[in-house]
Structure 1
C-alpha cells in the first residue's frame, strides 16, 4: 500500500498523519454519567464508546476503561469518584512534540485530575516541559517573571520526585516520573477542594 493510500485511510478514520498537539485542547469524554452521581453513586456511570468520540479524538483512542468508586457527597448523599484511562494509538497524540501514550482522568465533586502519560524519561524532558508550563502560566497572567501570590513558581515535589507549578487557586501542574514505568513521564493537571 502506498503512503498516499495510508493517508487516505487515516483521513477516513478521522486521524491526520501528524500527531495531535494537545496542550490547549480539551480531552475526550471517557466516562459518561458523572453528572448524575449525586444521590445515586456509581449506578449511572459507564465507559464511553470509541465511536462516540468527537473530533479530533475519533480514531486516536485504542480503548477506554472506567472505574467508579462510591463516596459520600458534599451533602452526605451517595456520590462517586470516577477514574478513566484511554490508551492512545501510537503516534497519534503529542504534547510539546513528545508522544502521549495514555490519558488518565479522575474526578469527583472534590477533585479533578487529567494525567498525560508521555513516552519519554522524566530526566530527558523535565527542563523543557517545566519551562514551557511556567511560560504558559505567566502568559495567562500577562507576566514574564513572576505572577501574583507566587503562582507559576516551580517547586520540588519530593513525593513524586518531580516538580509542581501552581497555576490556580485550587491546583496546578505536576511533572514527575511514572511510578509504574520509569521510561515514561506524567504531566498531571489537577485541582482539589
Structure 2
C-alpha cells in the first residue's frame, strides 16, 4: 500500500515547493516546432502539452497558448514568428522575490523576446530592479563600472514609459508598466537583427 501513498506525497511536495526564480533557471520552451519553421511556415507549430514541459516548469504552468504568424525567411522561403504565453500557477515563480504570473515568448529568425509579467506595480519595483539589471549586466561583462559601447547604462524608455538597459549589440532588457494592466510590470529580455 505504501506505493499508493508515495505519488500523493510527491504531488504534495511539488505543489508546496519553493517558487523558482526565473532568472536562475532556463525558461521553458512553450511551442513545439518553433525551430522547424524555416521553409515550412506555421505548419509544424503547436503549443506544448503540460506533460511535455521540462522540470521545473511542468508543475508550475497552468496553461499555454501559442500564436504563429507567417513571415518570409531570409531566403524568401516560408518562415514564421512564434509567440507563446504560459499562465503560471499562483506562487510558483518569482523574479528577484517578485511574483511572476505569466511568461511570454516570441521568436523568429529576426528576433527573440522573453517577457516576465510581474504581479506588482512598476513604480514599486523600478528602483530595485533597475539596480539589479545594471549589476547583472556589469557582472556578465566581468566589469564593475564602465562597459565598452555604453552597455549597462539605465536609460529612459519613452515608448513604454519605463527603462531600458542595453546588454550588447543586438539587445537588452526593458522594464515598464504592463500596458494592459497598470497593477503589473513587464520585465523583457530581447534581441533583434
- Smaller-chain TM-score bracket: over 0.9
Report matched runs for 1:137-156 at 5 Å.
137-156=137-156
1:10 match: 12
- 2:12, 2:92 → 1: CA distance? 10
Report matched runs for 1:85-124 at 5 Å.
85-124=85-124
1:15/1:56 contact within 8 Å kept: no
Unaligned residue ranges in structure 1 (runs of 5+): 1-5
- Out of 123-132 and 16-25, give the one that drifted further: 16-25
- 2:60, 2:24 → 1: CA distance? 17
Report matched runs for 1:1-193 at 5 Å.
8-11=10-13, 14-193=14-193
Cα deviation for residue 8 of structure 1 reads 5.0
What is the alpha-carbon root mean square deviation over aligned residues? 1.3
Cα deviation for residue 17 of structure 1 reads 2.4
Q: TM-score if structure 1 supplies the norm length?
A: 0.93
Cα deviation for residue 35 of structure 1 reads 1.4
Cα deviation for residue 145 of structure 1 reads 1.4
Cα deviation 1:4-59 (Å, max 9, x = unaligned): xx975332xx4452111111311111001011111110000000010111111111
- 1:144, 1:58 → 2: CA distance? 37
User: When the two structures are aligned, how many residues end up with a matched partner?
Assistant: 186
Aligned residue for 1:27, secondary structure, equals coil
Unaligned residue ranges in structure 2 (runs of 5+): 1-7
- Out of 24-33 and 86-95, give the one that drifted further: 24-33
